[in-house]
A and B are shown apart, each in its own frame.
Chain A
């Protein structure tokens, strides 16, 4: 059964590379949708196992929430925000794609060496899946700084959240249920608020280019 987990975690990591290679805002919203679907699948498999073994449906419920929230609602919301603010397609990143991909590879290697040394020796709970998930968090962070558009930053934030969620799944079979629910409520509110601010930025600065936010210094 562990093989499934490993395959899924590698696939999830691959989607983050795809995300990095996407040029258009539309396509990276799509990639994010794919990534969330894979995460929901992982949680679903774990949930079914937990339900059969212990009879607890917590993880299953969480997986359904992910499908509703991260596969359907948030990508649609981002599409709506995007079509509301964007009138011309601009180049969105300042390093070229091969270089970005290489840096991402470097991040994966980095997290492998740093994370597997921290606790690998003690009782082997830091496994390959956790390394992959932490790489996902780092790639999400890097995605945020590599994109200039506000929506790119929101997607980066969501990828970080995905990475954190999947780290929790793989390392501890999920957080306590109330914590999971609270995290989802926070994420949905955060994305809603960020969406509203994107509209306001567009209204005041006539663009959603973050590099134009330079008034406050010193």
Chain B
């Protein structure tokens, strides 16, 4: 049954290539992504009951344990949300002529190849095959990043493909050293199997394994967006269509981080402690957080802001994994979940904002709460959530991690991290201020009469924001579907708005309350990483 997770997306790809009718395309996409959910749900239950899910077929390649099933759940849930959001998003882009009719097929084909490669990376036992799948994620998403085919998108694609391919090639060198360190202790069909490597960790060749870890961290760290290998990330995330940005940020980064975690647990078991991996991971993580803090403070583009925030959160996860105490690892896994949901919610809402205003510049967004009441509210609350404000879930897991750091008596690290988080909060708060407060102040002055408010909200973004990207026709096209009042231009993407509200509810609820099943999964995953 687990093989269906591989089979369904693979079968769907040719279907997306053949079908010409756009409505059917959307329907197939929704059905495929929805069909994966119950399957992965059953797989999760199996893992909860049995510990692991594995089959004898295909040389025992398929393997799920609590660690991989958590991330697999995130992939498929966010994939489903992105699929729903894509329907209206694509229709809107077609209406404004930003993409050609025939490219819808390409979009869905690449999106589901991308999904398949991520599912594959998370559900194989063999580290070599995992590498192949992660490299394939780059290749599958390359043209999604460059989907709009303009100068900036092409530049982002080139950077993405070159930097990530080279990075992943370096990870291959690491996998080779991993393979080499096991020569003599593992043989035959067990070669490079994670379970075999982990089981025989104490027999592996220590120095070679350490070398392997460094190469793997650099390689997969490139893909996970750790500084200083992060340079592709803001470009790719800001240029990609928003549902794809949500997938890149919420899902792809986790898959790369997952590969690092798998390696860390082998190396630490071999070395008998986390001293070696811990130092490197904490250094890389802190550097990422510092880099992100600097760029967030000076950011002018809201999609790039979100991208830098992803670098920050990956840094936090790396620091927590580096600490390797039970509480820290638990916090790291929980943080992965929370970051994915919050960030994909933000990227999806930024998609609606972008379609409404036609600009990525923070300074040109005015009257967001009036133009997009639901998306604007979610965007507002989501920015608070991602900055780590209670009662949202990101706060809960960041608090877990900070508490774990102080519990381990790493006072210096803890205080520096807390200061950096405060700086990032200030950066994001200033963005919030620029988007929301200033405008409500302005319209408070003018909008009192109610007459002035009409040209202001409908006109200002129309003339300054929309016209230079979409042309005058874009403005007139925007106004008729304004919906209810002429003051409120209305939502561009109704199903999308529902999705992001659901996501907001999820991040809010997990901030207070963790379901027993989730807690058990996280505990089991933590045991797999730490051992014992």
Contact = CB atoms under 8 A, between A and B. Distances in A.
Interface stretch (A26-34, A64-72, A102-110, A171-179): A171-179
B150 interface: yes
Interface stretch (B86-94, B173-181, B401-409): B173-181
Interface string B157-168: 111011001100
Interface stretch (A12-20, A40-48, A77-85, A196-204): A196-204
Nearest to A121: B207
Contact of A171 (B180, B191, B192): B180
Interface string B284-301: 000000000001001110
A201 B128 contact: no
B128 A179 contact: yes
A126 B208 CA distance: 9
A204 B143 contact: no
A160 B166 CA distance: 8
Interface stretch (A1-9, A88-96, A187-195): A187-195
B142 interface: yes
Given A122-B207, A144-B166, A197 B142 contact: yes
**Interface of B: prevailing SS:** helix
Contacts of B239: 216
Most buried by A among B136, B169, B173: B169
A55 interface: no
B109 interface: no
Given A175-B179, A193-B143, A200-B154, A182 B166 contact: no
Contacts of B299: 218
A183 interface: yes
B176 A157 contact: no
B156 interface: yes
A175 B152 CA distance: 39
Interface in A138-192: 141, 144, 150, 153, 157, 160-161, 164, 167-168, 171-172, 175-176, 178-179, 182-183, 185-186, 189-190
B176 A175 contact: yes
A153 B172 CA distance: 19
Size class of the B contact interface (CB-based, 8 Å): 35 or more
Most buried by A among B143, B156, B166, B300: B166
A126 B177 CA distance: 10
Contacts of B126: 176, 178-179
Nearest to A210: B158
A197 B238 CA distance: 18
Size class of the A contact interface (CB-based, 8 Å): 35 or more
B235 interface: yes
Given A125-B180, A172-B180, A190-B165, A179 B154 contact: no
Contacts of B207: 118-119, 121-122
B161 A118 contact: no
Given A164-B169, A178-B129, A216-B156, 6 more contacts: A150-B158, A171-B176, A176-B191, A182-B128, A193-B139, A200-B149
Interface of A: 115, 118-119, 121-123, 125-126, 134, 137, 141, 144, 150, 153, 157, 160-161, 164, 167-168, 171-172, 175-176, 178-179, 182-183, 185-186, 189-190, 193-194, 197, 200-201, 204-205, 210, 213, 215-216, 218
17 contacts: A121-B207, A122-B205, A122-B206, A122-B207, A167-B173, A171-B176, A171-B180, A175-B192, A179-B129, A182-B129, A183-B172, A190-B165, A197-B142, A213-B158, A216-B152, A218-B295, A218-B304
Interface of B: 126, 128-129, 131-132, 135-136, 138-139, 142-143, 146, 149-152, 154-159, 161-162, 165-166, 169-170, 172-173, 175-177, 179-180, 183, 191-192, 205-208, 210-211, 234-235, 238-239, 295, 298-300, 304
